[in-house]
Amino acid sequence: MIELIPAIDLIDGKCVRLTKGEYDSKKIYNEDPVAQAQEFERLGFKRLHVVDLDGAKSKHIVNDAVLRAITEATNLTVDFGGGIKTEADIEKAFDAGAAMVTLGSIAVTNPELCRKWIAAYGSEKIILGADVRNGKISINGWKEDSEEELIPFLKKYVDMGVKNVLCTEISKDGTLAGPATELYKQLMAEYPQLHLIASGGVSCNEDIENLEAAGIPAVVFGKAYYEGRIRVDGLIDH
């Protein structure tokens, strides 16, 4: 069964969603992310994806207090990303209760440092964030495109021992236009050993079922849930 991972994106300590990563498209869905996390747990979810959008923009963790409040109030397995640039950021995230951290921009700008972190913390605690736009990896809250192409970027980190990859197709994110299923199938064909987390564009239960049928191990969804397009009972029980 595909792993179901609802998302909470944080700006100013509030639960928001963006469209294609544009900060001026911000829509607040819940003023209380802790209550939202508790609701996900009540519904039967086991995992939660938390993104510090303030941190991504500021290039250091900002919402660690919210992360701590969520992990103290629930038994959810929480992965956390956004603004992790230093070992101090990683330690702050783990200290606040994160089970895993996502390395995004820093994985592009300083792969040797990431190699050390993978060795030090273990590949099971590290998620490689591969945020893609026009085939290239985007960084710094998706405000910049790097010269890194997706497949060579992944190969470099698979060779380092990375097993968890969160791949967001930015052109799909927040659009409710359906996920980039063909891209994810290509990645799984290339690297079948990966625990690939599909992200971006999920609009309904059928999208998630199609990803599962395509052999994608996990999926993150946010806006489709907040907009009432996902039937949770149909997901958890299928």
Out of 54, 64, 131, 207, which one is annotated catalytic?
A: 131
Write the DSSP symbol of residue 162: -
Whether residue 54 lies in the annotated active site: no
Out of 9, 54, 79, 173, which one is annotated catalytic?
A: 9
Query: What gap in Å lies between CA 202 and CA 224, rounded to an integer?
Result: 6
Write the DSSP symbol of residue 13: T
Query: What gap in Å lies between CA 93 and CA 96, rounded to an integer?
Result: 5
Tokens read off for 148 = 């890194």
Helical ranges in 125-227 per DSSP H:
150-159, 181-190, 205-213, 223-226
Residue identified by tokens 């698979």 is: 158
Chain centroid offset of residue 159 CA: 21
Close Cβ partners of 15 (under 8 Å, ≥ 6 residues apart)? 8, 9, 28, 29, 30, 31, 32, 33, 36
Phi, psi of 183, rounded to the nearest 5 degrees: -60, -45
Q: Could you give the count of Cα atoms lying within 13 Å of 134 in the half-sphere of its Cβ?
A: 6
Write the DSSP symbol of residue 2: P
Write the DSSP symbol of residue 204: S
Angle between helices 64-73 and 87-95 (to 10 degrees): 30
Whether residue 79 lies in the annotated active site: no
Close Cβ partners of 148 (under 8 Å, ≥ 6 residues apart)? 108, 136, 137
- Catalytic residue positions, numbered: 9, 131
